[in-house]
Structure 1
């Protein structure tokens, strides 16, 4: 082991020993910057905040860990489930509105088929259908409305 590696090992050991002691200090310098350390500074007074912190890695099963936002994991899951349910309801309502609009348009077409009919194609020319073809189209449309809309 060379000198650099030996120095790093000693420094790591010293840091680990300091962390194991469980002391943590907080202080603010003259520029307003906040510092934290496991050793109090020599040049200024520091506040010992060791007793105000909860352990991050705890094997205490009786205590519930909170997330960074202060919510418990089961709260997050419940919020996600509620959000998902709201999304599904909104999607269902959107589908119902779309179906209602389509059904209204189909009923209007059926009313048009049952009256005097003049079909115009996309070029503006009249398309002629026999009475039998018109009745078949009306019957088919009526059947679709009955299946999907009522």
Structure 2
């Protein structure tokens, strides 16, 4: 009797490993007991004995419940990550561009100041001037900075 169960189990396992499914006519499975008391299983009941269908009692061999859409990983996740990365990159570029424009405007303002009479006031309120050579040197530095920042 145990051999019959084992045979049915092995048959089912072999079908599941090969990916083969039973034809639609063989979707029924019957159980019957012969005159010697042995239990048999088959896809067609014998004519001489009364067989009972056990299809409702069995689970499908490859019968995993169909998965729902939310059970799958987010297929657009990689696309969303790339979009977020590009948005952050654009925002960072925008901030650095704004900083560059601010530095450019500041350098131009300082150069304009250096082109006139230049003097400095210290913390005590005393005025001090710079030499013409220092003024020209500072102006060159600012012009180079303007070329670099302002394009």
Structure 2 partner of 1:113: 114
Taking structure 1 as reference, are residues 78 and 122 closer, same or farther at Cα in structure 2, changes over 3 Å only? farther
Taking structure 1 as reference, are residues 122 and 80 closer, same or farther at Cα in structure 2, changes over 3 Å only? farther
Matched, 1:66 2:78: no
Taking structure 1 as reference, are residues 126 and 65 closer, same or farther at Cα in structure 2, changes over 3 Å only? same
Q: Offset at 1:55? A: 4.4
Q: Deviations over 1:1-42 (max 9, x none)?
A: xxxxxxxxxxxxxxxxxxxxxxxxxxxxxxxxxxxxxxxxxx
Q: Gaps (5+ residues) in structure 2?
A: 1-64
Taking structure 1 as reference, are residues 123 and 89 closer, same or farther at Cα in structure 2, changes over 3 Å only? farther
Structure 2 partner of 1:90: 91
Q: Deviations over 1:53-96 (max 9, x none)?
A: 6348xxxxxx99524xxxx33x0110010011000000000000
The alignment partner of 1:92 has SS state of helix
The alignment partner of 1:119 has SS state of strand
Taking structure 1 as reference, are residues 55 and 66 closer, same or farther at Cα in structure 2, changes over 3 Å only? closer
Matched, 1:99 2:100: yes
Structure 2 partner of 1:136: 137
Higher CA-based Rg: 2
Q: Offset at 1:97? A: 0.3
Question: TM-score w.r.t. structure 2 length?
Answer: 0.51
Q: CA RMSD in A?
A: 2.7
Matched, 1:147 2:148: yes
Q: Offset at 1:107? A: 0.3
- Please give the alpha-carbon distance, in whole angstroms, between the structure 2 residues aligned to 1:87 and 1:122: 43
